[in-house]
Amino acid sequence: MSFTASLRDVTLKYKDTDALADVNLELEAGKIYGLLGRNGAGKTSLLSLLAAFRKPTSGEILIGGEPVWENAAVVSRVALIREGGDFDDADTVKAAIDTGQIRPGFDTEYALKLAERFELPLKKKVRELSRGKRSALAAVCGLAARAELTMFDEVHLGMDAPTRDAFYKELLAEYMDRPHTVILSTHLIDEVANYLEEVIIVDRGRILRHEELEVFQGMGATLTGPAAAVDAVAAGLEVLAEQQLGGTKAATVAALDPGARERAAASGLEIGPVGLQDLFIHLTEPTRKGA
Ligand X SMILES: Nc1ncnc2c1ncn2[C@@H]1O[C@H](COP(=O)(O)OP(=O)(O)OP(=O)(O)O)[C@@H](O)[C@H]1O
Q: Give the residues lining the site for ligand X (CB under 6 A).
A: 14, 17, 19, 37, 39-45
Nearer Cβ to ligand X (37/64): 37
Nearer to ligand X, 57 or 92 (CB): 57
What Cα–Cα distance (Å) separates residue 171 from each residue in 29, 139, 248, 286? 16, 9, 38, 33
Run of H or E including 279: helix 276-283
Closest contact distance (angstroms) between CB of 232 and ligand X is: 39
CB of 166 to ligand X, least distance (A): 24
Q: Least distance from C-beta 57 to ligand X, angstroms?
A: 12
Q: Least distance in Å: CB of 182 to ligand X?
A: 17
Shortest distance in whole angstroms from residue 197 CB to ligand X: 21
Backbone angles phi, psi at 147, to 5 degrees: -80, 170
Cα angle, residue 275 at apex, residues 270 and 277 outer, rounded to 5°: 155
CB 119 within 8 A of CB 160: no
d(CA 70, CA 41): 26
Query: Rounded to an integer, what distance in angstroms lies between the CA atom of residue 9 and that of residue 15?
Result: 19
